[in-house]
Chains A and B, each alone.
Chain A
């Protein structure tokens, strides 16, 4: 007998539609010679948005390929093989290997050959990012520029103001340079107004998503993580666009309504856990399997952080949804102002990106905060061999959680390379973990 009521989400199809539209627009852009910018999706999407462009994000593309692997494992296999044949080692970033392989095989998931961008623009958020699109650009032979991202230290380190200012100026300076660079490589004038709007929308989208995630703190959770995956990705793909703001506004209302009426994502929710790192996209059924024990993933630093703007509140010693310019009553008027606000947003409020560079103390604190505030009973860590940025600090996190008396298990896998995931062993490990917590299968 299910504990909670369920209802399909109205926003579900809209999200699907928006996701599809991105790949279509890229395909179209190719035909009518529109500017295509490629790079990591954490490249500051608002920055190239000074142009009427389509953005081809490396991570979501790779994730889609990996997800497509559920139906046809051949898809990714072909891309990985293409990369391996070109001598790219298999322990490198799985997303990168899919991108490079897809390019070398000249095959685009949505059909046709791999889109050749007007230029590549990358933000160097982890060791791989800056090199990833260097390699892509070598092969495509298109202009390439990269912005170095040095985030603020975690609040636990109480970093000095002068240091923060340096980081802000460093990032702002690079943005201004990149704008000039883009004008050079495209030969087209950069439109500050478009840019300023994009910054507003990007901050708004990510702030709204953070608010959506807050609603998952209640029992039962209004979204399970599988659902979150299909919603957060809108921000990943197009947070700098108005459609994204509209989508999250609507989603927030729907979720509030569900929360009020006690509608659950999983009718059997009994054991709430926080997951760490991206999931193995080709094996999301593992989450389904967990639900048979009443175990539901209610949050992950990854899914709430990657698309969420969070600000640290020293009084409450926790992180809360950050205020976008408009919400803070700020009117961005010039390129300079927009760059400064945008820089601050990424350096201070993007806790996910910050965790890629800050492996230890801060990340533990941040995730413990999530476990507590989202009322989780335990944690499951995906030791992700396909993404070193998120793998940083995972072993320490495991140790830390157990020391805090929070049941925590790890399983080894890979965000996109199914050859590194052993389903049998993972299932066996989950069963053991659940058994040691005295939980039996409900069905």
Chain B
């Protein structure tokens, strides 16, 4: 059976096509203001890779905060449930999932079947972790890849008070103007974000193993900061962490 999952996030649309539980196609496109147009793009890409047409797909499940803006799906699941199911498929050892997107952050506690036991979503003044790192990379005039690499170079700890990320920027700006080493600033930012994510994660009483998914998951600096912040031996990051939601939706579609 062929199913698909579509994750319409704040910034991008991601699509995963499954045949008999195996991923045969992926597609992604920036949503901008018109999520539906982005969805079409993502579909094209995914279908092309899978070498099939939409008609071949028996069921499409959608997830993501902006799923309401696009049509063309049979049923919907929340990001939290999709994440839990997906990560359990990839790595059944996982009990805690951290999902860090551009705007939203989530901590999810799951059992050995991937069922959600408890979840926390970032509250006011703690939003935009991903977007923040992006904006800061921009302020530092480095790409987000370079940002992570720089962060890894530093071993220094500079406290940034990041309760409000936008206001935190002015702290970063003053660090910049004090000619603080660029690598140290990058780490300081990753640490600050990590602290907030860790705080949120502790609400669901973090248990190992812990997985980091979502767009920001590729940030190697953030990975390190979180591993230290949560006192973990290891932090599991799946391949294509930004597709986890879509994958979960596709899996659930296949199972129901």
Contact = CB atoms under 8 A, between A and B. Distances in A.
A and B in contact, CB less than 8 Å: yes
Interface of A: 383, 385, 395, 398-399, 402, 412, 420, 422, 425, 428-429, 431-432, 435-436
Contact of B124 (A395, A399, A402, A422): A422
22 contacts: A383-B123, A385-B124, A395-B203, A399-B203, A402-B118, A402-B205, A412-B123, A420-B124, A425-B121, A428-B78, A432-B78, A432-B80, A432-B119, A432-B121, A435-B78, A435-B80, A436-B78, A436-B81, A436-B115, A436-B116, A436-B117, A436-B119
A429 B121 contact: yes
User: Which applies to chain A's interface (DSSP): helix, strand, loop or mixed?
Assistant: helix
Interface string B35-79: 000000000000000000000000000000100000000000111
Q: Which 8 A-B pairs have the closest CB atoms?
A: A432-B78, A436-B116, A412-B123, A432-B80, A435-B78, A435-B81, A412-B124, A402-B118
B252 to A, nearest CB: 11
A286 to B, nearest CB: 16
B65 A435 contact: no
A431 B64 CA distance: 12
Could you say which interface size class chain B belongs to? 10 to 19
Given A399-B203, A412-B124, A436-B117, 17 more contacts: A383-B123, A385-B124, A395-B203, A412-B123, A425-B121, A428-B65, A429-B121, A431-B78, A432-B78, A432-B79, A432-B81, A432-B121, A435-B78, A436-B78, A436-B81, A436-B115, A436-B116
Contacts of B203: 395, 398-399
Nearest to B106: A432
B12 to A, nearest CB: 18
A260 B80 CA distance: 42
Q: Max chain A CB contacts within 10 Å: which of B79, B81, B116, B121?
A: B121
B130 to A, nearest CB: 16
Q: Max chain B CB contacts within 10 Å: which of A395, A398, A422, A428?
A: A428
A436 to B, nearest CB: 4
Q: Max chain B CB contacts within 10 Å: which of A399, A425, A436?
A: A436
A199 to B, nearest CB: 43
Contacts of A425: 121
Contacts of A432: 78-81, 119, 121
A432 B84 CA distance: 12
Contacts of B65: 428
Contacts of A412: 123-124
Q: Max chain A CB contacts within 10 Å: which of B79, B80, B115?
A: B80
Q: Max chain A CB contacts within 10 Å: which of B78, B115, B205?
A: B78
A436 B119 CA distance: 9
Interface in B121-152: 121, 123-124
A435 B124 contact: no
Contacts of A402: 118, 205
Contact of A436 (B80, B121, B123): B80
A435 B123 contact: no
Nearest to B104: A425
Nearest to A409: B119
Contacts of A420: 124
A435 B77 contact: yes
Contacts of B117: 436
B82 to A, nearest CB: 10
A278 to B, nearest CB: 18
Contacts of A431: 78
A395 B205 CA distance: 13
B203 to A, nearest CB: 8
A129 B81 CA distance: 43
Contacts of A383: 123
A385 B205 CA distance: 24
A372 to B, nearest CB: 20
Contacts of B121: 425, 429, 432
Contacts of A399: 203, 205
Contacts of A398: 203
B163 to A, nearest CB: 12
Interface string B200-244: 000101000000000000000000000000000000000000000
Contacts of B116: 436
A275 to B, nearest CB: 18
A431 B121 CA distance: 13
Nearest to A435: B78
A431 B79 CA distance: 11
Contacts of B80: 432, 435-436
B111 to A, nearest CB: 11
A172 B229 CA distance: 52
A412 B117 CA distance: 20
A304 B219 CA distance: 49
Nearest to B80: A432
A431 B58 CA distance: 25
Nearest to A383: B123
B65 to A, nearest CB: 7
A398 to B, nearest CB: 8
A436 B118 CA distance: 8
Contacts of B118: 402
Nearest to A438: B115
B249 to A, nearest CB: 13
Contacts of B205: 399, 402
A51 B190 CA distance: 64
Contacts of B79: 432
Contacts of B119: 432, 436
A402 B123 CA distance: 19
Contacts of B115: 436
A432 B121 CA distance: 11
A209 B81 CA distance: 41
B197 to A, nearest CB: 17
A385 B123 CA distance: 11
A422 to B, nearest CB: 7
A412 to B, nearest CB: 5
Contacts of A435: 77-78, 80-81
Nearest to B123: A412
A431 B77 CA distance: 9
